[in-house]
Amino acid sequence: MKMTFRWYGQSDPVKLEHIRQIPGMYGIVSAVYDVPVGEVWPVASIMALKQEIESHGLAFEVIESVPVHEDIKLGKPGREQLVANYCQTLQHLAQCGLKVVCYNFMPVFDWTRTSLEKKLEDGSTTLAFDVDAINRIDPAEGIQLPGWDASYQPEALQALLAQYRNIGEEQLWANLAWFLERVIPVAEAAGIKMAIHPDDPPRPIFGLPRIVKNREDLQRLLQIVDRPANGLTLCSGSLGADCHNDIAAMVREFAGRGRIHFAHMRNVRHNEAGDFHETSHRSADGSLDMADIMRAYFDAGFEGYIRPDHGRMIWGETGKPGYGLYDRALGAVYLNGLWEGIAREAAAQKGGAQ
């Protein structure tokens, strides 16, 4: 597997020279952030980003994300041009040597939290989701969520939510199928692997449909266009927010079939009600057995890209919540350590059997 790290470009307080110093770091996951959603990413912009990353001794092979325009999710007139632009962007990315594109099909909000600074017992802060807090919000009276307060003007958000009132899960599935049937052949021809990110959290929010929530949804998605280029970003933290999802079992099934192209490793502590908060990556700190999940990837022969996902904010670090340097660096080293231990154990068992 190839260890990577999310970087938000020149505006990111986390510097490439610091990421380069994390032991076992292979590459960077990033995107072109100054092109409006739905427009074509210029080759020059992609190459400039690639050259900046590679100048620090890091590979740049994974894009996170190329956003899908809301008009495609809604199935609106004009989506043909938007998907043509999307396909052109994929071809430009392939020209620049990119290999995997992460994306999502979540309506309106591509992640939802009720707190960005939940304080844990050790004094660190983390992202959290409280079901009761969400249920107390009346979308008609306005939605205020940390991290999204500035994303939409109130009138624009209400207009967008209104457009989704007649879009149920089956219609959203149909719109996703329409997208995949046009994009996957282009991606495959270009040598790009598409990797959809699951819903975060994996549950309906504000009446909006969510369709990438569990094992059954992942299987249905892969069958729409049953080609290797149509794959997954398997996010342990997003899917793991539902205590009924068995992440290690999903890894064994879908990585074993070569359909996981990108792995997000994040630990959460959850309950039956659906509340959760993010923790360190250690198995002991959250509800997910990260060692078992890593073993599942190893046993499946996973050779794709992996990154430590959201981390706590520790040691007084400030910046984008969940995306500080320190806890994610600890997470990367922890995950690499698990992998090394599993590999050594497997080698010893193989040697003993000979």
- Provide the annotated active-site residues: 197, 235, 264, 309-310, 323
Burial of 310 (0-12, 13-18, 19+ CB in 10 A): buried
- d(CA 210, CA 17) in angstroms, rounded, equals 38
Contacts of 49 (CB under 8 A, 6+ apart): 9, 30, 32, 60
CA within 13 Å, CB half, 38: 10
CA distance 125 to 278: 9
Residue 321 phi/psi, 5° resolution? -55, 135
Closest by alpha carbon to 323, among 64, 56, 62, 40?
64
Identify the CA nearest to 25 among candidates 329, 339, 340: 329
Query: Which residues are paired to 233 by β-bridges?
Result: 262
Q: How would you classify the pairing of strands 268-270 and 260-265?
A: unpaired
Residue 142's alpha-carbon distances to 75, 87, 129, 147, in angstroms, are: 25, 35, 18, 15
Residue 123 falls in which region: left (phi positive, over 0), alpha (psi -120 to 50) or beta: left
Q: 268-293 as b/e, with b when 16 or more CB fall inside 10 Å?
A: bbbeeebbbbbbbbebebbebbbbbb
Q: How far apart are CA 172 and CA 175, in angstroms?
A: 5
